[in-house]
């Protein structure tokens, strides 16, 4: 200690008030950030599992139907359990990442420090990825802008159509920029999705590990190592699930002809919206069959098995 040098101290600036109200609020924000991350991570886990059913177009359509059967409640569920936690997590995460930290994984290349840095890097990657993902695949993204403005530039851009789940997902991920899958912009889309899935899985698994320390669940080095192994296993499982989901709609994805968005006499809002119109609902099996290239008969049987009116 150089307490004798206190007279020359250059850091004797404003003494921080360590027990300030600001600090207490910060403490709670940090803990809420952790909980929000757990909630959103749970959604991502379910999301990846559902999308891994994309291996089978019919199964995937059934899963999508289950979700959209929530009807008007879907928006409430999405906002409360997905978008609100995401917003809190992102806002605080950006603040914490930018709050004067000095990354030093080059000089101190320990595993923990590399993970610390990756957690922040994947967070930033995910911010870009999620912006693109939501804009192009969520009905509150470009689709909503199109519905409100009827902007011609968006009219040919593919987005997710729940009644043609498989084919529209392939279209929106593998070939959003023209039918040639080897076009550079299409390749970027496909690569961005793989990067996004892996970044999400890492961020989720590593976040589980650090959350346990933040809340004081794991204290000793051996407990942290043990829980670390569990998180690693969770990460590996979801990396596999996520990669299957990605492959289903990209390298294994087979594009199928999609009806034009206005083909069946309904506006895009009705088609994509959470509310099923009765005539459209009756038309679904045939339209679905059209989209993933199976016989209409199989589609009708599938819909019947799922307890849907045909």
Partner 1 sequence: MISPAESTKSIRLEILRQDTPSSQGYWQTFDVPITPASNVTSLLRTISGRPVTSDGRNVAPPAYEASCLEEVCGSCTMVINGRVRQACSTLVRRLMAESPGSPITIEPMTKFPVIRDLIVDRSRMFENLKRIKAWIPIDGSFNLGAGPKITPEQQHTMYPLSRCMSCGSCLEACPQFTRDNHFLGAQIFSMARYYNMHPNGKPDADARMEVLMGDGGITDCGNSQNCVRVCPKDIPLTESIGVIGRSATVYSIKKFFSK
The answer to whether residue 2 forms part of the interface with partner 1 (CB under 8 A) is yes
CB under 8 A: which stretch of 10-18, 196-204, 237-245, 285-293 binds partner 1?
10-18
List the one residue from 64, 137, 159, 220 that touches partner 1 (CB under 8 A). Answer: 220
- Work out the angle at residue 201's Cα, subtended by the Cα atoms of residues 200 and 203, and round it to the nearest 5 degrees: 65
Among 76, 79, 95, 108, binds partner 1 (CB under 8 A): 108
Of residues 47, 273, 299, the one with CA closest to residue 167: 299
Dist CA 299 CA 58 (whole Å): 8
**Which of residues 166 and 209 has its CB atom nearest to partner 1 in the complex?**
209
Nearest approach in angstroms of CB 209 to partner 1 is 8
Query: Dihedral sign, CA of 77, 139, 203, 95?
Result: negative
Count CA within 13 A, CB hemisphere, residue 246: 20
Query: CA-CA distance, 189 to 124, in Å (whole number)?
Result: 17
Provide, rounded to whole angstroms, the least separation between the CB of residue 15 and partner 1. 8
Q: How far apart are CA 29 and CA 15, in angstroms?
A: 23
Name the residue nearer to partner 1 (CB basis): 102 or 179. 102
Taking the complex as a whole, the smallest distance from the CB of residue 28 to partner 1 amounts, in Å, to 8
Q: Which residue has the tokens 């000793």?
A: 220
Count residues binding partner 1 (CB under 8 A). Answer: 53
Encoded tokens for 195? 């990067």
- Among 145, 185, 219, 305, which residue sits at the site for partner 1 (rule: CB under 8 A)? 219
**Is 18 a residue that touches partner 1 (CB under 8 A)?**
yes
Kindly tell me the burial class for residue 262, based on how many C-beta atoms sit within 10 Å of its own C-beta (0-12, 13-18, 19 or more). Answer: exposed
Q: How far is the CB of 87 from partner 1 (least distance, A)?
A: 20
Name which of 36, 10, 11, 16 is nearest 211 in CA terms.
Answer: 36
| 229 is a site residue for partner 1 (CB under 8 A) | no
Binding partner 1 (rule: CB under 8 A), the pick from 124, 214, 233, 251 is: 214
- Using CB under 8 A as the binding rule, the residues of this chain from 64 to 103 that contact partner 1 are 96, 99-103
Determine the straight-line distance between the first and last CA of the chain, rounded to whole angstroms.
80
Q: How far is the CB of 121 from partner 1 (least distance, A)?
A: 13
Contacts to partner 1 by CB under 8 A: 1-3, 5-6, 8-12, 15-20, 22-24, 26-28, 30-31, 96, 99-104, 106-108, 110, 112-113, 115-117, 209-210, 213-221, 223-224
């Amino acid at each position: 200690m150089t307490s004798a040098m206190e007279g020359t101290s250059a850091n004797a600036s404003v003494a921080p008030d360590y027990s300030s109200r600001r600090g207490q609020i910060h403490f709670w924000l940090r803990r809420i950030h952790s909980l929000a991350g757990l909630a959103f991570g749970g959604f991502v886990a379910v999301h990846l599992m559902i999308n891994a059913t994309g291996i089978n177009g019919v199964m995937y359509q059934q899963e999508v139907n289950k979700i959209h059967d929530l009807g008007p409640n879907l928006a409430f569920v999405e906002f409360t359990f997905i978008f609100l936690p995401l917003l809190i997590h992102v806002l605080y995460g950006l603040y914490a990442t930018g709050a004067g930290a000095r990354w030093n994984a080059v000089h101190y290349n320990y595993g923990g420090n590399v993970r610390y840095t990756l957690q922040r890097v994947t967070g930033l990657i995910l911010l870009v990825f999620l912006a693109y993902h939501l804009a192009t695949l969520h009905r509150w993204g470009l689709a909503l802008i199109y519905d409100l403005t009827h902007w011609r530039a968006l009219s040919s851009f593919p987005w997710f159509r729940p009644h043609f789940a498989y084919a529209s997902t392939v279209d929106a991920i593998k070939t959003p920029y023209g039918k040639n899958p080897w076009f550079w912009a299409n390749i970027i889309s496909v690569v961005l999705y793989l990067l996004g899935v892996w970044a999400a899985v890492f961020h989720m698994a590593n976040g589980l590990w650090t959350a346990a320390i933040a809340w004081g669940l794991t204290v000793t080095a051996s407990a942290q190592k043990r829980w670390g192994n569990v998180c690693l296993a969770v990460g590996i499982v979801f990396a596999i699930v996520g990669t299957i989901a990605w492959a289903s709609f990209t390298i294994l994805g087979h594009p199928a002809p999609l009806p034009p968005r206005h083909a069946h006499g309904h506006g895009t809002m009705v088609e994509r919206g959470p509310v099923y119109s009765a005539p459209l609902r009756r038309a679904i099996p045939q339209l679905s069959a059209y989209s993933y290239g199976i016989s209409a008969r199989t589609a009708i049987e599938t819909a019947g098995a799922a307890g849907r009116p045909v």
